[in-house]
Amino acid sequence: MKFACHKSSILKEIVLALDFTSQRNALSVVSNVYLETKDNLLYIKATDQNVGLKSVIPVETIEEGATTVFCDKFLGILRSLPEETIVFEEVHDKLFIQVENKAISFELRTISVDKYPTLEESDELEFFALSQKDLLAMIDQTIFAISDDETRHFMTGVYLEQDGNQLVMVGTDGKRLSFIGRKFEKQLPEFKPIIIPAKFLSLLKKGGTQEGEVELSITDSIIFARLGDQVMYSSLIKGTFPSYKRVIPASQSFECKVEIGPMNEALKRVSLLVENKAKRIYIDLEEGLLTISSEESDFGQAKEVIACDYSGDAMRLAMNYTFLVSPLRVMEGEQLSLSFTDANRAVTLRPEPQRDYFHIIMPMQKE
C-alpha cells in the first residue's frame, strides 16, 4: 500500500477517528485505525466495538492496499508534521511516513486488516435528513443532564422519541431533567423510542459543522448518522427510560424572572466559596430581589443580590449550583424564568420568552 496526500486533508479525519477507537490497550487491533487506498481514494475506519466511523477522502493512490496502525501515535505524528504533501507506504509490517522533499520520516508497526473487526453496514438502510443546527442544539440542551452512574445504564444516554414531525429529546439523572421538543417541516419516519449513548452524541457534535443537514437511520439496536462522506454509528442503550412526563409539573404557583447574564455571573462568584462535595447554594426570593449565597464554612461565605421580577411569598431554595450553571450556559435569550410551588418540589427553568425546551431541578435538603 502506498498513497500521498496533503497533511490537512487526512489530519482532521484521524482527529475524529481517534475518539472511535479503544485506547485501553495499544496492542489491541481496535486501538488502530483502518486505512485502505484504491482508485485515488482513502477509506478510513475506526471502532471500539460499540461505536464506529467510516470516512473517505481523495488521495493519490500509488499502490492499492490496506493496513491498520495505532491511531494515537499516528495522530501525534501527523500533528507534528509541516503543512506539506505526505507519502505513506506500508512495507511488510511497518507503515513508513515521509514528508515529500524533506528529510522527515517515521515508521509505525501495523496490524493486518484480517484481524480488524467488521463494521456495521448502512448501505441498505433508509435515512432521513435533519438540520445539523437543530439536532446539535437539541443535544446541547440535554446531554449535560444525563447520569454517569453505570448501575443505572438506561440514564447514561439521551432519550429520543418521534411524534409526527416533532422530535423529543430528554436527559435525566434522577435529580434533574432536561427536555426539548423540536418540530421539523418534514414528516419524520416512525421509529420506536431509543436511548442514545452520550459518547455518540459527543462524537456527532465533534464531527458536525452546524451547517447543512445530517442524515439519520435508526434500527432496533443501532443509530447511524451520515455527514457528507462520513458515516458514524453506535449501539443503542437497552433498558426502559423513566417516565419523564410524570416529572413535569402540570402547573406551578410562583414564577421569578431574572436576567441570565447577571444570574450567571453571580453564580460564578458565589461558587468560589461553595463546598465542593455538597455544591449547595441558597436562593432567597423576596419581592423584586433574588439573593444567591453559599453556606458558611471554615473559609467564609459569599452572597450576592440581583434584581428580579417576583412578587410571591418569601422563599428559600437550596440547590446544586452546577445544576443551575449547566442549563444557563446553553439557554438562549436574555431572561429566564424560575417556576416553583414550594421549597421541596421541582423548580423549572425556562428561557423568557418561552421556547421549545426547559430544565427541571429537584431542590436539595436545607442544612
Report the CATH number that the domain containing residue 21 is assigned in CATH: 3.10.150.10
Cβ count near 64 (within 10 Å) = 12
**pLDDT at 126 (0 to 100):** 93
**pLDDT at 367 (0 to 100):** 64
Same domain (yes/no): 240, 258: no
**pLDDT at 219 (0 to 100):** 94
CB neighbour list of residue 180: distance below 8 Å, 6 or more residues apart: 137, 138, 141, 142, 168, 169, 170, 356, 357
Same domain (yes/no): 229, 259: no
What rounded mean pLDDT belongs to the chain? 94
Distance between CA atoms of residues 107 and 307, nearest Å? 63
- Asked whether residue 179 is domain-assigned, the answer is yes
Same domain (yes/no): 173, 147: yes
Range of the domain at 224: 128-245
In angstroms, how far is CA 95 from the centroid of its own chain? 33
**pLDDT at 297 (0 to 100):** 78
Same domain (yes/no): 133, 184: yes
**pLDDT at 278 (0 to 100):** 81
Same domain (yes/no): 239, 256: no
Distance between CA atoms of residues 347 and 49, nearest Å? 40
Phi, psi of 5 (to 5 degrees): -160, 165
**pLDDT at 26 (0 to 100):** 66
Taking a C-beta distance cutoff of 8 angstroms, is the pair 129, 118 a contact?
Answer: no
Same domain (yes/no): 132, 238: yes
Cβ count near 130 (within 10 Å) = 20
- Asked whether residue 97 is domain-assigned, the answer is yes
Same domain (yes/no): 216, 287: no
- Domain end: 85, 115, 145, which one? 115
Same domain (yes/no): 26, 79: yes
**pLDDT at 78 (0 to 100):** 97
Q: For 111, how many CA atoms within 13 A lie in the half-sphere containing its CB?
A: 17
Distance between CA atoms of residues 345 and 250, nearest Å? 13
For 91-102, the pLDDT digits (tens) are 999 999 999 888
- Asked whether residue 47 is domain-assigned, the answer is yes
Same domain (yes/no): 261, 309: yes
Same domain (yes/no): 164, 81: no
Structural domain count of the chain? 3
DSSP-assigned beta bridge partners for residue 172:
177
**pLDDT at 140 (0 to 100):** 96
Same domain (yes/no): 234, 136: yes
Distance between CA atoms of residues 295 and 232, nearest Å? 46
- Asked whether residue 20 is domain-assigned, the answer is yes
- Asked whether residue 122 is domain-assigned, the answer is no
- Asked whether residue 310 is domain-assigned, the answer is yes
What pTM was computed for the model? 0.91
Same domain (yes/no): 233, 276: no
DSSP-assigned beta bridge partners for residue 106:
97
pLDDT means over runs of 10, the chain (367 residues): 96 96 81 97 96 97 97 96 96 95 93 94 92 95 93 92 93 96 90 96 92 94 95 96 93 95 94 85 95 86 95 93 94 95 94 95 84
- Asked whether residue 123 is domain-assigned, the answer is no
- Asked whether residue 366 is domain-assigned, the answer is no
Distance between CA atoms of residues 27 and 157, nearest Å? 29
Taking a C-beta distance cutoff of 8 angstroms, is the pair 110, 93 a contact?
Answer: yes
- Domain end: 197, 214, 245, which one? 245
Taking a C-beta distance cutoff of 8 angstroms, is the pair 180, 135 a contact?
Answer: no
Assign residue 279 a region: left if phi > 0, alpha if psi is -120 to 50, beta otherwise? left
How many residues appear in the chain? 367
- Domain end: 210, 245, 280, which one? 245
